């Protein structure tokens, strides 16, 4: 992570000689309500560093393990990419003009409270609750702060849709629009949400997001005294991208969003939302995801997080996104009858 003051996380952590964020034990362990997701270890509350006195700056964060580290189903190259995707793909989401969750490499130092952190032997495994697993000192975890503010509510698509395994983006939007209308969200706000939804659908196809089920996406409602507004939730859980599939979900087709033609290529999503994304907006978007620009983003993210990607992995990223961009160029040419450089 960046070392300058004012950057995210810096008020909460000290750093080792690398890029890991090291926490000295000033945290509170929350309830183990991480549902049944295997990678989720625990929700924790991080206290500010000793230099800070504003307790209002406490941050609720989710610790996740890298479940693919010990899974031999994935090659060493894919395991490296799965780790790197946690940091690189959110930056590409931002290039699309989307919000994205923040992630950091995290490890704990100091003595852990064995009674508090050890597995609760007497807690039965149920679909609603899993016991704590030991948080190991000096083992790397993935940490992501909650993206919700105190006055915000997150509602996953899966809780809105009549079929939580729906994959068709048009069907999903129709039900979301109906949901928002019945809750008296303004037409102007709904129009903005539709644009966000379109961009997020195109982004998902661009990176080939393969863990894109309806509980990995949602709406965020914000209440204040005079208004109730809504926006699409930040992009998160992006590691299973770039043609890498979660082996636990193979055969579960609801993990990938599709256009009306049943396909999920980026050109299919562009066609699906061509009445929403104008020529000017598409031109602006493509200027931000031009291959050389994405290479700069990947290089910067690699340095920031100390990812140390191999040459083969770096080339895989470059080749993958160049091919996706060329698909978008072809769509642009067919739709507007000219090259994007014109």
One domain for residues 128 and 194: no
Q: What is the pLDDT of residue 261?
A: 83
pLDDT score of 72: 73
Is 4 within a domain? no
Kindly state whether residue 1 falls inside one of the protein's structural domains.
Answer: no
Domain boundary among 99, 119, 145: 145
92 found inside a domain: yes
pLDDT for 128 equals: 38
For residue 11, the model assigns a pLDDT of: 53
CATH of residue 273's domain is 1.10.1070
* pLDDT value for 320: 96
Residues 99 and 217 in one domain: no
pLDDT for residue 65: 80
pLDDT at 1: 31
Q: Are residues 127 and 192 in the same domain?
A: no
Domain that holds residue 82: 14-145
Same domain, 54 and 140: yes
**What b/e readout covers 185-205, taking b as 16+ CB neighbours within 10 angstroms?**
beeeeeeebbbbbbbbbbbbb
pLDDT of residue 318: 95
Check residue 317 and give its pLDDT: 95
pLDDT reported for residue 165: 92
What is residue 228's three-state secondary structure?
Answer: strand
Regions of the chain with pLDDT less than 50: 1-7, 31-34, 36, 50-55, 112-133
Q: What does pTM read for this prediction?
A: 0.85
| Statement to judge: residues 82 and 162 lie in one domain | no
Q: Which DSSP string corresponds to 68-117?
A: TTT-TTS-HHHHHHHHHHHHHHHHHHHHTT--B---EEEEE-S---HHHH
Q: How far apart are the first and last CA of the chain?
A: 39
Question: Tens of pLDDT along 237-284?
Answer: 999 999 888 766 555 556 789 988 888 999 999 999 999 999 999 999
Domain boundary among 110, 145, 180: 145
């Amino acid at each position: 992570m960046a070392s300058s003051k004012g950057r995210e996380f810096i008020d909460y952590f000290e750093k080792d000689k690398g890029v890991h964020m090291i926490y000295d034990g000033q945290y509170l362990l929350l309830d183990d309500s991480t549902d049944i997701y295997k990678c989720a270890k625990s929700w924790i509350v991080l206290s500010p560093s000793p230099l800070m006195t504003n307790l209002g700056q406490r941050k609720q964060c989710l610790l996740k393990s890298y479940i693919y580290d010990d899974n031999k189903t994935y090659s060493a190259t894919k395991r490296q990419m799965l780790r790197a995707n946690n940091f690189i793909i959110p930056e590409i989401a931002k290039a699309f003009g989307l919000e994205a969750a923040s992630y950091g490499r995290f490890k704990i130092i100091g003595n852990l409270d064995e009674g508090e952190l050890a597995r609760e032997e007497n807690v039965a495994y149920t679909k609603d609750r899993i016991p704590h697993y030991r948080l190991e000192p000096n083992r790397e975890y993935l940490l992501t702060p909650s993206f919700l503010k105190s006055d915000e509510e997150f509602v996953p698509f899966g809780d809105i849709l009549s079929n939580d395994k729906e994959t068709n983006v048009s069907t999903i939007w129709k039900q979301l629009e109906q949901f928002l209308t019945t809750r008296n969200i303004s037409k102007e706000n709904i129009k903005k949400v539709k644009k966000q939804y379109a961009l997020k659908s195109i982004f998902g196809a661009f990176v080939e997001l393969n863990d894109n089920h309806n509980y990995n996406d949602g709406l965020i409602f914000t209440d204040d005294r005079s208004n109730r507004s809504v926006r699409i939730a930040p992009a998160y859980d992006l590691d299973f991208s770039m043609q890498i599939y979660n082996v636990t979900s193979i055969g579960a087709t609801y993990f990938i969003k599709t256009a009306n033609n049943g396909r999920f290529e980026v050109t299919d999503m562009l066609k699906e939302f061509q009445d929403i994304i104008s020529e000017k907006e598409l031109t602006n978007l493509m200027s931000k995801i031009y291959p050389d620009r994405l290479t700069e983003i990947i290089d910067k993210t690699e340095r920031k997080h100390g990812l140390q990607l191999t040459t083969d992995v770096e080339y895989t990223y470059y080749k993958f996104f160049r091919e996706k961009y060329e698909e978008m160029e072809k769509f642009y040419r067919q739709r507007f009858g000219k090259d994007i450089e014109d």
